Structures are given as C-alpha cells and as structure tokens.
Amino acid sequence: MVPLPRDLCRGGVQRYGFHGLSYEYIASVLPEVAPEIAHGRVIVAHLGSGASLCAMKNLKSVDSTLSFTALDGLCMGTRPGSIDPGVILYLVQTLGLSPKDLETVLYKKSGLLGISGISNDMRDLLDSREPGALLAVDYFVYQAAKQIGALAAALGGVDGLVFTAGIGENSAEIRTRICHASAWLGIDFDEEANTGRGPRISRAGSRVSAWVVPTNEELIIARHTGRLLGL
C-alpha cells in the first residue's frame, strides 16, 4: 500500500515493484545454485542502470525497493531513487519546473549522472578520479548497503545476499564495497572468489553467504510467452 487517502489509492496507486522478470529467474535457479539459502531469507540485488533490491522468503518476494514506478529505492544510472516528496513540490512550486521538465529530470538527468556530472555508466565512474565520480560511487554503495539493512529488518534476518544484473554481475569492486559495508550482517567476504565472479563470494561458514548469479530476463519472457501460446 501507499499511505495516501484511500480514494486516491483506488485509482491504482499502490506499490507494484519492478525487475520481476529478473527476480523470477533468480528464484528459479537458486535451489540449484545455492540450495542452502534458496528456501530461506534472501536479498537479491539487481544492480544495473536500473537498480533495485528484492527481499525473498522461501523464493517469494515480500518486499522490493521499487514501488509505484521505477523511480523509487536505490540511486540508478539516471534516476534518483528515493527522494523527499517535498523536493518535487519545491521543484514545481518554487523553481517553476513543468511536469514534463520534472519527468525529464527524474528519469534522464538524475542518479549517477546527476551526482557525477560525468556519466551514468558505473564503469566510467570507477575509472575516473574526478570528485563527482567518486561521490556518485560512494552514494550508490551507501544507499545499497542502507537498503540491504532495511530489507534484512523486513525479513527478520537474512541468510543470503545475491548480486545480479550488469553492475552486480560484472563489478567486483562494487560487490566488495557493498559486502564490506554489510559485514555487520555476518558476511565473511572472500576476495579471491569475488575476483573470480563466484558464484559464492563468501567463505565457508559465513553466517550470511554472498553470491553472484547472472540473470536471464529474456528466458523468463520466452517461458511466459510459451505458456501463453500453449507450447
């Protein structure tokens, strides 16, 4: 639910969540890739140009950082993630942005691009020593670790953390930084395994295990299409 007046919510205003194709795929392969956590409490980090986290319990989503639109939650390539609604009012009422201008700012000019002033591509930011780039990366990691903590609370604890999507699968540095920031959960991080892209990037005996699992949204689309066509 969204805590607005009920008459407004009846028009379809509610939390929907996004990246469902990715999370559905991860849920489908976890029993094979990571059977020890598959039916437990798992946080999946879909980190790419669009980024979100999903809290799963027994392979079912119980919470997501994305909600009514794909603007909520984590800082993304060009989207801000969670932002004080009062900022939106200020941009419109005080700075005079039109709804169209506001849409452009929120979807195309914010996030990593807005903070860095350089690029929305994490690879470019990691290669740069410009202060804006460093700040954008720091902010991304901070927000990811913060939201992981929030979802751990929603789950009542966590058994595993799974990285997926473009940044999550390919950036050993971002995985390292997020896991170190989340070490308080009980992640005993394995640097060597992380450099080798896992799939397990935590040490044996780690209270909370960490993993890298490539996603395949196209396969889920194909499966659903096949079922719809009766194939």
Q: What pLDDT is stored for residue 83 in this prediction?
A: 96
Question: How does DSSP assign 149-200, residue by residue?
Answer: HHHHHHHTS-SEEEEEHHHHHH-HHHHHHHHHHTGGGSB-B-HHHHHTT-SB
**What integer is the mean pLDDT of 224-230?**
94
Going edge to edge, which strands form the sheet with 51-57? 60-64, 51-57, 41-47, 160-164, 209-212
Q: What pLDDT is stored for residue 15 in this prediction?
A: 94
**What integer is the mean pLDDT of 153-173?**
97
**What integer is the mean pLDDT of 84-99?**
97
Q: What pLDDT is stored for residue 194 in this prediction?
A: 97
Q: pLDDT grade, residue 120 (50/70/90)?
A: very high
Measuring CA to CA, which residue among 77, 78, 86, 83 is closest to residue 65? Answer: 83
Q: What pLDDT is stored for residue 197 in this prediction?
A: 85
The pLDDT tens digits for 14-60 are 999 999 999 999 999 999 999 999 999 999 999 999 999 999 999 99
Q: What pLDDT is stored for residue 231 in this prediction?
A: 82
**What integer is the mean pLDDT of 142-149?**
98
